[in-house]
């Protein structure tokens, strides 16, 4: 009797954990060697002032590599423009993650929501390490799975590594916000976030087909089914999911540090007390995501003054608009540039409160090639996505 490889028990234990609510995926998770798809990865250096990462490079059967690969966690494979495969020993990565192998539990949860049936053609947007493509191919057949990514190296590496254990889905390097490899799919799942929802996806989704995706700069997960009228209708799901957004270049645009220099301490052109309390946008995430839906592209930062414990929140925009809100005994809001960003935030909060602070997963999605929207429960508020 042949002894099972060292990773098999770890993969089976992972499957036990992440497929409890989706048992149909247990066999695929148990038999997909994730450690072969992620031979090296980046690990954030704790308390690094410049957001640096260290390289993790371990032998294939090294216990720590297997532990990491078969724990339900995300492994960051690319930081800024540098993939872990191309890093030299001792090199530090710098910047934000630009690719990863998403935590298996989230992949399984989304794939379960996708509700793929035998014979369905599946489009997996965001190849990354190839893990989700490997799971789909294992369960539904290589011939039924297409996976796409904007990065040619990621695509080639995933294709090669999948083939090493017998998986041969179609894997293509394209900008998935443009035209797709085929014109018709039954299911589309994206492990990158988008805004707008690409018209090409909606043109390619067959009537009765299903789309699962997230909206950029939020953790709003949408499931929508294509109707015979060319409109996919669905809802925001109760469990949030955060993904990197689609990109066209090697890295994402630089953060708004120049605007922050202005906003950090400068007297505003408009200075006033806030209307109500200054929100903690990292704790009050529904408000932060509603603000993003209403006023997209605003970068948010926060800090606490060490001398007296006062909180400060900054809102920054690429057009030079900025706001700084400071709490304390005499809270103040400073605003400058061509727009009043804090006014926008307070307007969104006020409208949300007027609508009884509805749950975000009560919103409905209507997606079509001509335009996509999220609608509040009473249809009084409509966000273009």
Report, as residue numbers or ranges, the catalytic residues: 99
Phi and psi torsions of 201, nearest 5° = -65, -40
Task: Give the Å distances, CA to CA, from 130 to 55, 158, 177, 303.
Answer: 20, 5, 19, 38
102 φψ region: left (φ > 0), alpha (ψ -120 to 50), beta (else): beta
Q: Which residues of 46-76 are buried (b: 16+ CB within 10 A; e: fewer)?
A: eeeeeeebebbebeeeeeebbebbbeeebbb
Alpha-carbon distance of 84 to 92, in angstroms, equals 10
Please report where in the chains the tokens 């980046």 appear, as a residue: 42
- Half-sphere exposure in the Cβ direction for 137 (13 Å, CA): 24
Contacts for 90 with CB less than 8 Å, ≥ 6 apart = 55
Locate 363 and state its tokens.
């919103």
Instruction: Read off φ and ψ for residue 277, nearest 5 degrees.
Output: -75, 160
Q: Are 127 and 273 in contact (CB under 8 A)?
A: no
- Residues 21, 129, 34, CA angle at the centre, nearest 5°? 55
Find tokens 């509805």 and name the residue. Answer: 358
Q: What is the DSSP letter of 361?
A: G
Distances (CA, A) of 362 to 63, 79, 137, 183, 356: 44, 35, 33, 32, 12
Q: Which residue has the tokens 């997909």?
A: 32
Q: Element (H or E) spanning 183, and its range?
A: none
The answer to whether the CB of 132 falls within 8 A of the CB of 108 is no
Which tokens belong to 70? 């078969």
Query: What is the rounded (10 degree) CA torsion for 65, 54, 102, 287?
Result: 140
């Amino acid at each position: 009797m042949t002894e099972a490889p060292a990773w098999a028990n770890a993969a089976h234990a992972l499957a036990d954990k992440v497929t409890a609510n989706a048992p149909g995926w247990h066999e695929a998770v148990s038999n997909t060697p994730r450690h072969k798809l992620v031979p090296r990865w980046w690990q954030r250096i704790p308390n690094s002032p410049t957001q640096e990462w260290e390289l993790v490079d371990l032998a294939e059967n090294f216990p720590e590599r297997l532990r990491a690969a078969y724990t339900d966690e995300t492994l960051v494979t690319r930081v800024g423009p540098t993939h872990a495969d191309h890093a030299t020993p001792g090199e530090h990565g710098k910047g934000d993650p630009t690719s990863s192998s998403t935590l298996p539990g989230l992949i399984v949860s989304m794939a379960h929501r996708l509700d793929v049936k035998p014979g369905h053609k599946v489009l997996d947007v965001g190849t990354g390490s190839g893990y989700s493509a490997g799971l789909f191919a294992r369960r539904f057949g290589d011939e039924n799975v297409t996976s796409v990514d904007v990065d040619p190296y990621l695509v080639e590496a995933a294709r090669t590594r999948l083939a090493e254990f017998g998986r041969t889905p179609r894997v293509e390097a394209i900008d998935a916000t443009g035209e797709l490899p085929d014109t018709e799919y039954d299911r589309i799942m994206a492990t990158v976030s988008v805004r707008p929802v690409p018209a090409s996806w909606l043109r390619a989704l067959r009537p009765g087909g299903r789309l699962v995706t997230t909206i950029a700069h939020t953790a709003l997960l949408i499931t929508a089914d294509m109707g015979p009228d060319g409109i996919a209708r669905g809802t925001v799901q109760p469990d949030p999911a955060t993904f990197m957004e689609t990109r066209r270049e090697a890295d994402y645009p630089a953060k708004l540090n120049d605007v922050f220099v202005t906003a950090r301490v400068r007297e505003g052109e408009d200075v006033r007390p806030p209307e109500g309390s200054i929100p903690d946008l990292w704790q009050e995430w529904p408000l932060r995501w509603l603000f993003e839906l209403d006023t997209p592209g605003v970068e948010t930062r926060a800090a606490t003054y060490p001398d007296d414990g006062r909180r400060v929140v900054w809102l920054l925009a690429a057009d030079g608009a900025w706001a700084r809100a400071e709490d304390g005994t005499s809270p103040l809001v400073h605003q400058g540039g061509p727009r009043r960003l804090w006014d926008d935030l307070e307007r969104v909060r006020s409208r949300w409160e007027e609508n009884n602070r509805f749950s975000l997963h009560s919103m409905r999605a209507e997606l079509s090639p001509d335009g996509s929207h999220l609608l509040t429960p009473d249809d009084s508020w409509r966000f273009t996505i």
